[in-house]
Amino acid sequence: MEEGRVLPQSVQQSAAAYAVIREQFGSAVSDFDANETMPFFEVLEAAKWPDIALFMRDHPKLKFNYMACLSGVDYQAEEQLGIVCNLESLGEFPHRIAVKVKCPRDGGSIPTAAYVWHTANWHEREAYDMFGMQFTGHPDLRRILCPEDWEGFPLRKDYRVQESYHGIKVPY
Could you give the CA distance from residue 47 to residue 129 in angstroms, rounded to a whole number? 21
Indicate the residue among 27 and 168 with the shorter CB distance to another protein: 168
Under 8 Å between Cβ of 32 and 18 = yes
In terms of Cβ atoms closer than 10 Å to its own Cβ (0-12, 13-18, 19+), residue 20 is middle
- Which amino acid is it at 97? I
Smallest distance, Å, CB 56 to another protein? Answer: 13
Indicate the residue among 27 and 37 with the shorter CB distance to another protein: 37
Smallest distance, Å, CB 69 to another protein? Answer: 4
Smallest distance, Å, CB 163 to another protein? Answer: 17
Could you give the CA distance from residue 65 to residue 87 in angstroms, rounded to a whole number? 8
Indicate the residue among 1 and 27 with the shorter CB distance to another protein: 1
Contacts by residues 27-35 (CB-CB < 8 Å, ≥ 24 positions apart):
28/52, 34/1, 34/7, 35/11
Indicate the residue among 47 and 69 with the shorter CB distance to another protein: 69
* Residues binding another protein (CB under 8 A): 35, 37-38, 40, 65-69, 71-74, 84, 86, 90-91, 98, 117-119, 121-123, 126, 130, 143-147, 154-155
Smallest distance, Å, CB 55 to another protein? Answer: 16
